[in-house]
Structure 1
Amino acid sequence: MDVIVRPTPKLNGEIGALSSKNYTTRYLLVAALAEGTSTIYYPAHSEDSDAMRRCIQDLGAVIEEDEEKAVITGFGKSPRDVKELNVGNAGAVLRFLMGVTALSKEVTFVNTYPDSLGKRPHDDLIETLGQLGVEVEHNEGRLPITIRGGHPKGGQLTVSGEVSSQYLSALLFLTPLLAEDSEITVTGDLKSKVVIGQTLEVLEQAGITIDAAEDYTFFRVPGGQSYEAKTYTVQGDYPGSAAVLAAAAVTQSHVTIRNLSEDSKQGERAIIDVLRKMEVPLTHENGNVHVEGNGTLKALEFDGDAATDAVLAMVAAAVFAEGTSRFYNVENLRYKECDRITDYLNELRKAGANVEERQAEIIVHGRPEGVEGGVEINAHYDHRVIMALTVVGLRAQQPIRIKDAHHVAKSYPQYFDHVRALGADVEWVK
């Protein structure tokens, strides 16, 4: 379905932040890898987290869930033999489970999104799985991918961090379960280091010991470990909230988002600092972010590597800032559900934004007077693009129509309900 976003000068109200998708998928996985029963309070429900639920159940985990919590009995080191796994369009879920299914005899990950996840490369992880003695059949590094494992062996491993940190996370979930100790050396410039911090945080909570170099270029992983069954509580999600905060920043607003911890390890927490640098009036106290938007923003420069999933929302805000903004060190945006630099900027131009791209940069020449709008936009099946384009539509002079906006459900199914509750003029259309 499509969404029509009409100009909306004012937003007002209060919402609770979505539960974190990143933490939910990690907690679901470590609970599945434990022998015993774990409890996860306030897990996220989205296409990505539901893909992890579905796949760990296929692999033998038992999940009982109510509105407050998920209770999971894990399969430990012995996933059930299955022929196929379908991760939908969830790249992180695919990569994490490519590691875990090295413990299985043979599993094929099918390709149900050939125009999105089906285009994304996984060569670096495939190469490292080969170092573990795992045979991988693939389509030039892309789906469908068949893992033939059963008896992976630890040892000296190298993995590239140039494209994605998810390859490293996959190894960090797997290697503690191997009989041998492992040493993992990361080559190249590791992307999204903050997200590795989230993985290590969850692993520590699950009773796993890993010795990590301060710069995350080297890891010592003792073998023969077991995941412990634990109780976890999922924190509020900064990546999804970034788009709502950006929407409040570009309008006349009185908006509060609850359950966003000040000391969260989510890199996208930087959206708070970015909006402050753009001179957006806001406070962040006791887990509540309150924005008193006046529609006036100043340009800035920002290193986006640590806040990858909030950059598109920051760019949407910068479209209306006074001056030229620059978002740099963001090349890994090109390797997401779509090319989040070229594809996103092409759609912004249709709406009237003045933007430029470099290989690893987005440059925004702000238009405080607003953009024309009045166009139909292709969001490329990408949830982050959909949310960011919605922000632009609120400040456009004419409505914009976002194609296939239902793909927002990948991470934030309630997104349009939430912005509509704040007063945004959005309408679903077929």
Structure 2
Amino acid sequence: MDTVHAPSPRPLSVHAPAAPLSGSVTVPGDKSISHRALMFAALARGETHISGLLEGEDVLRTADAMRALGAVVLRTGPGAWHVTGRGIGQLQEPADVLDMGNSGTAARLLSGILASHGIFSVMTGDASLRGRPMKRVTDPLAATGAAFLSRAGGRLPLAIRGVADPAPLSYRLPVASAQVKSAVLLAGLNAVGTTRVEEPVATRDHTENMLRHFGAHVTVEPLGAGGRTITLAGRPDLVARDVVVPGDPSSAAFVLVAALLVPGSAVTVRGVGLNPLRTGLFTTLREMGADLRLSNERIEGGEPVGDLTAIAGPLHGVDVPADRAPSMIDEYPVLAVAAAHATGPSRFRGLEELRVKESDRLSATVALLERNGVAVQVVGDDMIVTGTGGAIPGGGVVETRMDHRLAMSATVLGLVASAPVDVDDTAFIDTSFPGFIDLMNGIGAGLAP
């Protein structure tokens, strides 16, 4: 497999638009569901048709990896993919290194699959991914009998010697993480017996939903104080099932927040995934006074979907509890922009997970705000943003640190700042939201390099 090289930097200077934002749009397919659709289809018997797949770089890395492991993965049209699976335990040893690009989700979930097959594999990624910790995944997975060899701190490149008859795992997550939970459950697919995961706070449950969709037996029981116990019966007969991927709520967040902040704006995002474990941002925005309207609710592919309309208006500060963090962990940077524009202070609690994203998103978000004249501080794992009441000074240069969500958040901030905001690199936006700048221009953002 060819090595994925970092794209050439694409700087952007963002100015406030001359008129309100308006229009009705769709955003790319949900990234979390897209990764899982490709992986589960490769593990299932038969032919799976996927529609609405996110065709960003992260997901394309997963498609390449499943091809390298022996599945037939074909693109048949925009967002339309066809996968002929190998069946559980039947993946082949890859002939070359698996390059996961910028995708921590793909690398961590795939670790569970690779650990539970009797093959040798090596994963690497771009500079950002090679700096991200993997030990919180490899430590529990080692109990299957798999062996891992990595750089210091469990960082990529990562060599995995999997086992054909893995031991089932029983693991309690020390910190809520859908990626770690999913890696353990994926390892349990090829284990004889029951795999059990306890999570202290409920995290996004796309893995559980899709496992059931493909025929696995998964049970979920409450575990005090908002936690859950998930059990999976090993070696299920996964059978191909078509998958419809809803619009990614994490991508919709940038469009909706921009519409809430640019005066006079009204924008609808159609077909957004509304899984209750992914909608913490929408709950929080409404608590801040946002006019966010839901219509056309429906179920597609086992996931709730609807249309969201954001209408600009004043926002006020809010105190967000730590137990909401798993349902909006990727949205905190753009939420911080909303808080900077609001009146009064906002406190976001329990953000330790942000330190191990594509960048240290907590420190990067602080830098994004500080460089543009917004008062912000970190107290322990909490972030406190002092709102400007709409008077964000701007004028700063934002270092995105190869992080797509930082780049998009900086773009939204630039649309409502008094002085232009310079974003050092928007190239990595393509990992999750290809066409972001064109879409924003289509609703009136007026973005130009």
The answer to whether 1:34 aligns with 2:44 is yes
The answer to whether 1:50 aligns with 2:60 is yes
Corresponding letter in the other structure for 1:147: I
The answer to whether 1:177 aligns with 2:195 is no
Deviation, 1:266, is 5.3
Deviation string for 1:188-214 (max 9, x for gaps)?
x45xx331x221011110101123332
Map 1:120-269 onto structure 2 (within 5 A).
120-140=132-152, 141-158=154-171, 160-162=173-175, 164-178=177-191, 180-186=192-198, 189=200, 193-195=202-204, 197-215=205-223, 217-252=228-263, 253-261=265-273, 264-265=274-275, 267-269=277-279
Deviation string for 1:336-369 (max 9, x for gaps)?
0011111221121001111111232111100024
Corresponding letter in the other structure for 1:56: M
Aligned to 2:7: none
Give yes or no for contact 1:125–1:159 (8 Å, CA) kept in 2: no
Deviation string for 1:70-94 (max 9, x for gaps)?
1100122211211411111100100
Give yes or no for contact 1:87–1:93 (8 Å, CA) kept in 2: yes
Give yes or no for contact 2:55–2:79 (8 Å, CA) kept in 1: no
- % identity of equivalent residues: 26
- Cα–Cα, structure 1 residues 223 and 277, in superposed 2: closer, same or farther, change >3 Å? closer
Which 5+ residue runs of structure 1 have no aligned equivalent? none
Of the structure 1 ranges 202-211 and 4-13, higher mean CA displacement relative to structure 2 is found in 4-13
Give yes or no for contact 2:169–2:184 (8 Å, CA) kept in 1: no
Which 5+ residue runs of structure 2 have no aligned equivalent? 1-9, 297-305
The answer to whether 1:59 aligns with 2:73 is no
89, 112, 116: which one aligns with 2:102: 89
Aligned to 2:336: 315
Give me the TM-score of the superposition, normalised by structure 2. 0.89
Give yes or no for contact 2:176–2:203 (8 Å, CA) kept in 1: no
Deviation, 1:25, is 0.8
- Cα–Cα, structure 1 residues 163 and 336, in superposed 2: closer, same or farther, change >3 Å? farther
Q: Whole-Å Cα distance in 1 between the matches of residues 169 and 190 of structure 2?
A: 15
The answer to whether 1:291 aligns with 2:314 is no
Map 1:325-344 onto structure 2 (within 5 A).
325-344=346-365
Aligned to 2:318: 300
Corresponding letter in the other structure for 1:105: I
Corresponding letter in the other structure for 2:134: H
Deviation string for 1:100-153 (max 9, x for gaps)?
11204210112x423x21121111221222211111111121111100013242
Give me the TM-score of the superposition, normalised by structure 1. 0.92
Q: Whole-Å Cα distance in 2 between the matches of residues 217 and 269 of structure 1?
A: 18
Deviation string for 1:355-402 (max 9, x for gaps)?
111232111100024222222210111111111111111111111111
Give yes or no for contact 2:176–2:326 (8 Å, CA) kept in 1: no
- DSSP 3-state at the match of 1:342: helix
- DSSP 3-state at the match of 1:155: coil
Deviation, 1:424, is 0.8
Deviation, 1:22, is 0.9
2, 11, 34: which one aligns with 2:11: 2
Q: Whole-Å Cα distance in 2 between the matches of residues 135 and 281 of structure 1?
A: 51
The answer to whether 1:18 aligns with 2:28 is yes
Give yes or no for contact 1:161–1:168 (8 Å, CA) kept in 2: no
The answer to whether 1:423 aligns with 2:423 is no
Give yes or no for contact 1:198–1:266 (8 Å, CA) kept in 2: no
The answer to whether 1:410 aligns with 2:431 is yes
Corresponding letter in the other structure for 1:123: K
The count of corresponding residues between Structure 1 and Structure 2 is 418
Deviation string for 1:163-211 (max 9, x for gaps)?
7331220121221222x10333447x45xx331x221011110101123
Q: Whole-Å Cα distance in 1 between the matches of residues 446 and 79 of structure 2?
A: 31
Q: Whole-Å Cα distance in 1 between the matches of residues 345 and 351 of structure 2?
A: 17
Deviation, 1:43, is 1.0
Q: Whole-Å Cα distance in 2 between the matches of residues 93 and 312 of structure 1?
A: 22
Give yes or no for contact 2:372–2:394 (8 Å, CA) kept in 1: yes
Corresponding letter in the other structure for 1:237: D
- Cα–Cα, structure 1 residues 163 and 194, in superposed 2: closer, same or farther, change >3 Å? closer
- DSSP 3-state at the match of 1:427: coil
- Cα–Cα, structure 1 residues 347 and 423, in superposed 2: closer, same or farther, change >3 Å? same
